[in-house]
Structure 1
Amino acid sequence: MYKWKKELSFILAILMVVVLTACGSTSGESNSEQTDTESEGKNKELTIGQVNWAENIAVTNMWKVILEEKGYNVKLNNLNMGSTMKALESGDLDASLEIWLPVQDANYLEKYQDSVNFSEATWYDNAKVGLVVPEYVEEVNSIEDLNEHKELFNSEIVGFGPGAGTMEVTEQLIKDYELDYELLSSSESAMLAEIKEAVKDEEPIVAPLWSPHWVFSKYDLKFLEDPQNTYGGVEKIHHATRQGFEEDYPKVSEWFKNWKMNDQQIGELIEYVEGTEEPLEGAEKWVEENQDLIDEWVK
């Protein structure tokens, strides 16, 4: 009897060791994953380029909120598109979250494809670019109509930031259609202010615009037909990173690739960001209300 009890005690002791070892292993794996994430971001600053476009401000602030909640230190660097690409090439910038392909930013892809990582993953798959006029400008429905009605627009296309891919494509469009127009450069906010004033007074105006953009929910604007397809058809929005980024930040790199948004989601995010004094406040509110979606990206 004593021998049997002794053997049983020995077996129980072995089982306890096995169970404790297994628990320790599971805990160790979990702690290891957490340590990997913390060590990846600890004391390291991610610098993301921000271009002064409504949707770009929205998504860069959104990712700043998401990444800082994960323990990263994120800096947003305000640059135009040309400077953004140079900074990615030099390594001064870690990521740019808005690359339009196959048409709008094709020139940057061609120039920097050997020195910048252009992700094949897309976060928005139904983008559109073109010249727009207010709906009440009934005489003009195609780019081919513009020369015939150039006096309506003072032979001017009201543009935004120089160096943007869409501005360069618009310059090409003027040549393709032999338009007797000048493309005016300013900023997105200045262009939108001119659209606002024109619509208020029901005056004609023509400008290059893109969707997704909050402006279409505020004003009745229409894209002009583009028979020569200079602007291209459906555009997809990608992200780009400096060389070595994926090795330095494998988790963030994977999260960027998982990122997907539809019209409703990006529209609401832009609305939240535009509706607050500080973009970060609007982004924080949107992130809080859309945690299930974000969990799909950062799983």
Structure 2
Amino acid sequence: MNFKNSKLLILGIILVMLLTACGGGNSNNNENSESSSGNKSSKEKTIDMAQINWAENIAATNMWKVILENRGYDVKFHSLNMGVIMKALEKNDGKELDVTLEVWLPVQDKQYYEKYKDDVFFAETTWYDKAKVGLVVPSYMKKVDSITDLKKYREKFEGKINGFESGAGTMLVTEDMIKEYGLNYELVPSSTPAMLGALKEAIDNKEPIVVPLWKPHRAFANMDLKFLKDPKKTYGEVEKIHFAAREGFNKEFPEVAKWMKNWQMDDQSIGTLMSYVNKAEEPIEGARKWVKENQDLINKWVGSKKESDSSK
């Protein structure tokens, strides 16, 4: 091969390489263009949702899983306690957690709100505004009507308040309550199922027991209970339940954030939902049944599925 032909061959190879490189660049630009146009990847359609082992939380999280997955999202649950939830939301990286459905204010979760309000989005709107928290005893304990009565009957209760998960806002408030009322009691942490099991066993045997509890809760439908009067109002009066999310969630999932801000439930709706979820073999089955029967209410929050699809 002469020098001239060799030179032409080399130039041809270089030209092919340049064209190939340009073609790859165009491919990347197309991918970036598609991404920036709003077409979300499967990861971007995934919502990581906190779940707490409380009856109303299990019901609400499964309800939203059904609603969101019907509209093309994937919802992953993360079973955590309140302290871990707030820390995960504070990280604001979307890798661990996007949203939690249950923050009780103004009292129960006040400590978490004060600590994280600058780094976590707390919705101003509420989805339930008639919540109540306090110490509860079986109704057959006729002489125990107030927290102040616990001093007199300390021996009956063995100086013990049966609690649930440590770190929960209500557990922190209960620790404050013990100090404010000067009670010589121990708050014994466990789990919500264990606490409810101990409550049921005590009632079956007509024994004394005192636990921190809240409404809405299916326990009040299944057991004859009463709240103890709280003269110092340590537990507050009416509590309201908000959702909270990591900063940036509202921009990345604007329609979901809008739907959750529209979300409102009353005693009838949350009570029926909890009942369906509790009776079903799997919570998601009970939630699906409730969602199917309450489309008019759900459409008030999120619009019809046709409206949701057309907005994407």
What's the TM-score, normalizing by structure 2? 0.83
1:105 CA displacement: 0.2
**Which residue of the partner structure matches residue 208 of structure 2?**
204
SS of match in other structure, 2:148:
helix
One-letter amino acid of the structure 2 residue matched with residue 138 of structure 1: K
1:284 counterpart (288, 298, 302) = 288
Q: Does 1:126 align with 2:130?
A: yes
Q: Does 1:48 align with 2:52?
A: no
Is the 1:50–1:56 contact (alpha carbons within 8 Å) kept by the matching residues of 2? yes
1:278 CA displacement: 1.0
What's the TM-score, normalizing by structure 1? 0.86
Number of matched residues?
Answer: 264
Counterpart-to-counterpart distance in 2, 1:194 and 1:268: 25
1:277 CA displacement: 1.9
1:100 CA displacement: 0.1
1:38 CA displacement: 7.6
5 Å matches for 1:67-216? 67-91=68-92, 92-216=96-220
Is the 1:54–1:270 contact (alpha carbons within 8 Å) kept by the matching residues of 2? yes
One-letter amino acid of the structure 2 residue matched with residue 231 of structure 1: Y
**Which residue of the partner structure matches residue 235 of structure 1?**
239
One-letter amino acid of the structure 2 residue matched with residue 120 of structure 1: E
**Which residue of the partner structure matches residue 6 of structure 1?**
none
**Which residue of the partner structure matches residue 221 of structure 2?**
217
One-letter amino acid of the structure 1 residue matched with residue 88 of structure 2: A
Q: Show CA shifts across 1:4-52 (max 9, x none).
A: xxxxxxxxxxxxxxxxxxxxxxxxxxxxxxxx99859885210000011
SS of match in other structure, 2:123:
strand
Give percent identity, aligned residues only.
59
Can you give the 5+ residue segments of structure 1 that lack an aligned partner in the other structure? 1-35
One-letter amino acid of the structure 1 residue matched with residue 135 of structure 2: L
Is the 1:132–1:221 contact (alpha carbons within 8 Å) kept by the matching residues of 2? yes
In structure 2, relative to structure 1, the CA distance for the partners of 1:38 and 1:219 (3 Å cut) is farther
**Which residue of the partner structure matches residue 30 of structure 1?**
none
One-letter amino acid of the structure 2 residue matched with residue 137 of structure 1: M
| CA RMSD, Structure 1 to Structure 2 (Å) | 1.4
One-letter amino acid of the structure 2 residue matched with residue 45 of structure 1: T
1:207 CA displacement: 0.3
Can you give the 5+ residue segments of structure 2 that lack an aligned partner in the other structure? 1-36, 304-312
1:297 counterpart (298, 301, 304) = 301
In structure 2, relative to structure 1, the CA distance for the partners of 1:71 and 1:133 (3 Å cut) is same
Counterpart-to-counterpart distance in 1, 2:72 and 2:43: 7
One-letter amino acid of the structure 2 residue matched with residue 58 of structure 1: A
1:250 counterpart (249, 254, 268) = 254
Runs of 4+ off more than 6 Å: none
Q: Does 1:272 align with 2:276?
A: yes
Counterpart-to-counterpart distance in 2, 1:63 and 1:197: 33
Counterpart-to-counterpart distance in 2, 1:102 and 1:56: 18
Q: Show CA shifts across 1:169-206 (max 9, x none).
A: 00000000000100000000000000100110111100
Counterpart-to-counterpart distance in 1, 2:40 and 2:274: 32
One-letter amino acid of the structure 2 residue matched with residue 131 of structure 1: L
Is the 1:41–1:71 contact (alpha carbons within 8 Å) kept by the matching residues of 2? no
Q: Which has the larger radius of gyration?
A: 2
1:90 CA displacement: 1.2
In structure 2, relative to structure 1, the CA distance for the partners of 1:37 and 1:292 (3 Å cut) is farther
1:276 CA displacement: 1.4
In structure 2, relative to structure 1, the CA distance for the partners of 1:38 and 1:226 (3 Å cut) is farther
1:291 CA displacement: 0.7
